[in-house]
Structure 1
Amino acid sequence: MLRLIRTGEAVTRADIGRVTGLSRPAVSLRVTELLDRRLIVEDNEGPSTGGRPPTRLAFNAAGGVVLVASLGASRAQIAVCDLAAGELARADLAVDVEEGPDVVLPLVMRTWEELLGDRPASLIRAVGLGVPATVEFAARRTESARIMASWTGVAIPPIIAERFPVPVFLDNDVNVIAIGEHRAVYAGQADDLLFIKVSTRIGSGVIAGGEILRGALGAAGEIGHIPVRDGGGVLCRCGNTDCLDSVASATAILRRLRSRGYEVKTLADVVALVRGGDAETMTVIRDAARMLGEVVASAVNILNPAVVVLGGDVAETFQPLVSGVREVVYRRSTALSTRNLRIERSRLGPGAGIVGCAHMILDHVLSPEAVDSPP
């Protein structure tokens, strides 16, 4: 019934009765329950066809809030959102996620408290985080051995629930970004999507049939740890050599330029070199694009997405990288898998993680099972 009201398929009690076949008393009882939980509101301003206009029902996005955080390796987007995934307050912070949960999580929780302001704690419906680690979603626990040791095996929900006693959801950071891009940009037009985040590290999120694909233990999408050819024997964090993450990420680009005598501290320095037409810098970017494109081409052959979205600092900063990936994918993937394939840059940018986190939470908070459970 809530879904019918949220989507506008049924906006009066009579509509609900016709669509569901429920009796008037049954409809009235369920509507009253939804009103009591502040999930819907009544609107008496509906159009009339003669006589007293029917009372219209509308989803109450202001009936609660969710706390969300999308953590990257070096930055975090933290927000309070309404029940329609709309941002009410937001903070973007520099963080070093490798300082570990004992440092990062208290910072996130303090920021939520600041963003909540005068809003009562009773409005908080749930909390959701995206973290740059492999996450066993069902167990709501990070599983990232050899990648970020301080986060390995951490059960984050109990830590958060001590301060905010509501359901807490956890997923990989690129998964929530993929959810955000899909829901906000491609819903209804592309239900098979591959999101590639090219930033300090490289990862991917896979939307298949409109749903995020997590795999048996949450390890789906670890595209950054696929070895590439001609990588130069670079040792990766995971212990293997020439992983995509170690040769084509922002970290790898900066390392290669420094090894060639360039004094570059951030991507902004690399941007200045590209804008100045520096040939060697462009060669490094093109090499990264080639290696990334080869791995993405294999993923396209396996997954056959309708769209590949490239996001993260590197993809959003360097158009030549996006063009290079596009060229390699169309050349190396099968003709059928690329017939209608689109390869695009992220449209949401850093905000995608917040949108995705909010939808991840709301899919559960507003599910029939959650709505039917005792308050």
Structure 2
Amino acid sequence: MDSSVVITLAVLAVVLLGVVSFLLVSGRSLSSRETARRYPTTRDADDVPPGAAGDADREGDGTAVLAPERPEAEPETQLEAEAPVVTETPEPVGGRLARLRARLVKSNNVFGKSLLALLSQDEIDEDVWDEIEETLLMADLGTDPTMELVDRLRERVKVEGSKDPARVKAMLREELIALIDPQLDRSLNTEAAGRPAVVMVVGVNGVGKTTTVGKLARVLVAQDKDVILGAADTFRAAAAEQLTTWGSRVGVPTVSSDVEGADPASVAFEAVAKGVELESDVVMVDTAGRLQNKANLMDELGKVKRVIEKKSEVDEVLLVLDATTGQNGLSQAKVFSEVVNVTGIVLTKLDGSARGGIVVAIQRQLGVPVKLIGLGEGPDDLAPFEAETFVDALLEETA
């Protein structure tokens, strides 16, 4: 074979071998880059997991093209994040106090047991009557109601002369119910012709106003009311968020301001305006807690009500009181009533107090009925007040 031909063949063989080697090395490099691209050892926060909706080869214009092959299902946490919010169904309002009666029995049993024990003694002398008065005063019944109740019981015990515990209990029950006055109208003013009923909720710091508004929203939703909430407590950073959370649980929208420290009267006005626009049944306005001895804060509360009234009448002003404060709550109630004309009382934390007599004392001083009582931390532990059920719980004996 000619030497030139041999040389030519050798050169071609070397070139061919080089091309094959280059292709093999390039293939391995491409495979490594593709693997690194699809399964990186570290991932930025905005990287899309491999195979997920949006995990795609990206063309020059940045348009995502779904990968043809999909791996296993995505992690469960991502599925949970995409789950829709489930709206809760509040407990029925009717008979709610009776269902919560066990808590009331437990908290107030000392009050009932003490009175029954004293009144069932073989001989009720002046010392016993003094003890009865002391028990009633410690239960925050108030001085005048206490004297009135003791005088009535004295007369009945003297006339009937009965020492039968069942009869004594019946007498005490009748007199306590009479003191609480079952004839008072305890219904919430949540009906208004041609417009939403407007409810303001007021009170001092720490009594649970925002929580009460949230629970009351559940009461109204359980009564098939269309409700809007107004977060007019603009000074407590978490108040609007807290109220929004309560509302969202039962599908109730909240009107609030994005600006901390915004004018509460403006927020309240906007909430009522939105209620009118949407033809809602009830607009509830949560207000900032304020001490009753701070004149400027009380003046501001009066302003909130006046501004609301430029848009709509205020149908209900509920004063939230902490039952554990006892007689101290009466001075609060008096000042608030003077500023915004309180129409009803919400008594919270009654489950932690043996001072059930505060119901009578508040009503006597203000001439305003207790309309709702709180008996626990649960979302449906706010109940319409019922005089007879309340007294029965006071006097019920536990095992």
Q: Pick the TM interval, shorter chain.
A: under 0.3
Q: TM-score, normalised by structure 1?
A: 0.26
Q: Considering fraction of residues, name the structure with more strand.
A: 1
Q: TM-score, normalised by structure 2?
A: 0.24
- Structure number with greater Rg is 2
Structure number with greater CO (CA < 8 Å, separation at least 6) is 2
